[in-house]
Amino acid sequence: MFHTNLYPSILSTNSSTGVLDAILHNERRRIVTNRNQVLAIGDSRMGFFARFANDLKPATGYTYATVATPGTTPRCWYYMLRDVDPTRQRYAAIVIAVDSYDDEESWENYPDRISDLHYVIPWLHWGDLVEFSASYDDPSLRVQAARGILLKGLVYKADFQDFLLHPMARLKEARQARRDSRHWYYDYVGPANSVKGVSIDWQARQVNAPPDFDPGMKSEFRLRFLDPRAPDQGRHSAYLKYWFGKIYERYRGSGTRIVFIRLPRGPFVRPDQSPPKPNSSVRELAAHAGVILSPEHFFDSLEKPELFMDPYHMNGPGCAEFSRMLGRHVRALLEPTS
């Protein structure tokens, strides 16, 4: 049962796997009448609302969709794209959102993010066992990933136990999600609150905020904008080169173009930006046919507190403007002479 499409269809909509399954299911069943389709992918920072770009279809000629999902990573994106586009013929372009064109190092070791296994377990096959499990650096996580692919029930265990407690309620919830979730996601407007009123004193290295500002949020600002950056070890760059390379190889020769965009960096921009890396993952791929690198600073106009709801994520108005800009921009990138 766990190795069929049956169990994913009744996953809890409160779980990361269930959310991703609903998003991919909705995209698979979306009616497509031509190949002028553009699909966006990324994590929670990819605040792309397709309906705003689709409002511009008379001018752009393209239909936009998104499978961007909070918590997912480039490793997940490869398997997500393989699921929604098995023939490699559905889209004119795939838009991939990145935080930096310079493969900035992360304190986290992305290859050892075990949550990736939980996100994409429904779409992993026995044929993926060696590559997926070997992509983890930690030997114990390699074993856990391999065991999970062979025995998917181990990964679904907590969700299945929850299902057994309230099976009828779960079935009702799953049916409703299959029926209505495409509207939930497509019509989502995002919160209107912003971090306007917050400022950063770069000299004093402190975050200034209103007296009633959430202390936890203030700590997040300090972490993102004032704490030291992770030292460059080339580790994250190697990870990105591998998984972005996998996505490129999947679409090479298919006619689908890969478009990389750099997201707005936040409500503020650190003065200690990483130096440009000519051999970063996206810059190297941009030299290949079928890969487009958007101008790095195209979305800089959105980097202001009134368009963000926290140190990382745009609010509703910010996402709406970003989506309109992206819709027009991708069309210009795909058809630069028209």
d(CA 16, CA 119): 6
Name, in order, each residue with C-beta under 8 angstroms of 319's C-beta and a sequence gap of 6 or more. Answer: 47, 48, 49, 190
Domain assignments of the chain as residue spans, ordered by start: 7-334
pLDDT digit of tens for each residue in the chain (338 aa)?
788 888 888 999 889 999 999 999 999 999 999 999 999 999 999 999 999 999 999 999 999 999 999 999 999 999 999 999 999 999 999 999 999 999 999 999 999 999 999 999 999 999 999 999 999 999 999 999 999 999 999 999 999 999 999 999 999 999 999 899 999 999 999 999 999 999 999 999 999 999 999 999 999 999 999 999 999 999 999 999 999 999 999 999 999 999 999 999 999 999 998 889 999 999 999 999 999 999 999 999 999 999 999 999 999 999 999 999 999 999 999 998 64
d(CA 45, CA 118): 20
pLDDT at 175: 92
pTM: 0.95
Angle at 75 between CA 281 and CA 119, to 5 degrees: 155
Pairing of strands 199-201, 206-208: antiparallel
| pLDDT 10s digits, 127-165 | 999 999 999 999 999 999 999 999 999 999 999 999 999
DSSP 258-284: EEEEEPP--SS--SSPPPP-TTSHHHH
Instruction: Record the tokens describing residue 169, joined without a space.
Output: 């309620």
85 φ/ψ angles, rounded to the nearest 5 degrees:
-135, 60
Extended beta strands in the chain, E state: 37-41, 63-66, 93-98, 199-201, 206-208, 257-262, 291-293
d(CA 139, CA 152): 19
Residue 194 burial (C-beta neighbours within 10 Å; 0-12, 13-18, 19+): buried
pLDDT at 274: 84
How much of the chain is helix, strand and coil, in % rounded to 5?
Answer: 50, 10, 40
| pLDDT 10s digits, 156-189 | 999 999 999 999 999 999 999 989 999 999 999 9
Pairing of strands 257-262, 291-293: parallel
pLDDT at 337: 65
Among candidates 36, 129, 35, 135, which has minimal Cα distance to 89? 35
pLDDT at 4: 80
